[in-house]
Amino acid sequence: MSILWMHRQQYNPLIFRHLASYLIQSITMANLHMKDRLSPYPGTTDVYRTIVPDEKVPWSVNWPDYKPVEYTAQKVLKNPPWADDVNTKKIKHYNELDGQIDRRSFMGVYEIDEDTNRPKNPQGRMGISGRGLLGRWGPNHAGDSLVTRWSKHQRDSTQKVLEIILINRKDNGRLALPGGMIDPGEHALAAVKREFIEEALNSNPDVIKQVDKLFKKANSVYKGYVDDPRNTDNAWTETEAINVHDETGELTKDLELEAGNYLIFNRFTFLINSS
């Protein structure tokens, strides 16, 4: 599968950064409020969201009869290390660093319900309250890697085909960037490198030094909300996407792409046509 995008300008780093940002947003934000309003809720067969008409998604729209379905997965309620306590009254530091837990949002300051002390999804009503499969009340921070290089047969051409590493998830068949949740106190770049090694390279210790060299060229290209089917009224996913571009192809030529429980889909192309 490939996507061709014609760009009638001479290639330069600014254009490339624009392409990288475009790809990230097409994956994380495509059809905003489509995935995060789907039913049944992931991992269930009987948890259906309250239907929220488009015009009533914003919290600013008065809807006194709104009654979202309450759902938090049992594995989250068991209070594992990556999850908050079920009692939101214990959380005193929304919208700021709470010890090593980052409760700040890329979307800005989010509202807190005065009665329940639950955060309100800045993108609006999702038809389901609680945390679902997400561990944190409020933003759940993730990191994604956008690893790119030029096709080896066209690196010196005015027409450039960009190769991008993606994974094809077996759990839902969707294309995704290698990535995962950021641990408390962990920097996004460290999380992205860790997840890239685990997901795309199957934790192969022989490539760690090579990946370290590759990620020295890392640039953040997107920070924001993700249209994620796990999102609820009170818990949502945000990501920082980090682009690493191997201009010559030397740092990625020997990478043996694997994916553990996933399949690699490693050819996603843009065509840049100079005028």
Same-domain pairing of 129 and 159: no
Question: Of 139, 170, 197, which residue is a domain's last?
Answer: 139
Cross-strand bridge partners of residue 256: none
Same-domain pairing of 253 and 158: yes
Q: Which of 90-94, 168-172, 191-195 has the lowest mean pLDDT?
A: 168-172
Which residue matches tokens 């085909």?
A: 161
Q: Which of 92-106, 125-139, 176-190 has the lowest mean pLDDT?
A: 176-190
Tokens for 112? 């807190």
- Model confidence at 19: pLDDT above 80: no
Residue with more model confidence, 195 or 70:
70
Question: Of 117, 139, 161, which residue is a domain's last?
Answer: 139
- Model confidence at 221: pLDDT above 90: no
Model confidence, pTM: 0.81
Domain that holds residue 87: 54-139
Same-domain pairing of 260 and 198: yes
Q: For the chain, give the number of residues.
A: 275
| HSE (side-chain half, CA atoms, 13 Å) at 100 | 8
Neighbours of 262 (CB within 10 A): 18
- What is the distance between the alpha carbons of residues 257 and 275, in angstroms, rounded to a whole number? 35
For residue 20, name the pLDDT band (cuts at 50, 70, 90): low
Flag whether 26 is in a domain.
Answer: no
Flag whether 157 is in a domain.
Answer: yes
pLDDT, position 197: 81
- Model confidence at 110: pLDDT above 90: yes
pLDDT, position 272: 40
For residue 238, name the pLDDT band (cuts at 50, 70, 90): very high
pLDDT, position 53: 93
Residues 149 and 261 sit within 8 Å (Cβ to Cβ): no
**Distance set, CA 115 to CA 88, 118, 179, 181 (Å):** 11, 8, 35, 29
Same-domain pairing of 149 and 260: yes
Question: Of 139, 171, 204, which residue is a domain's last?
Answer: 139
Domain count, the chain: 2
For residue 231, name the pLDDT band (cuts at 50, 70, 90): very high
Cross-strand bridge partners of residue 97: 102
- Cα torsion angle, 93, 97, 98, 103, sign: positive
Which residue matches tokens 């800005």?
A: 108
Q: Phi/psi of residue 89, each to 5°? A: -65, -20
Same-domain pairing of 125 and 202: no
- What is the distance between the alpha carbons of residues 107 and 123, in angstroms, rounded to a whole number? 9
- Model confidence at 27: pLDDT above 60: no
Mean pLDDT along residues 166-184: 78
Kindly report the CATH number assigned to the domain that includes residue 156: 3.90.79.10
pLDDT, position 5: 30
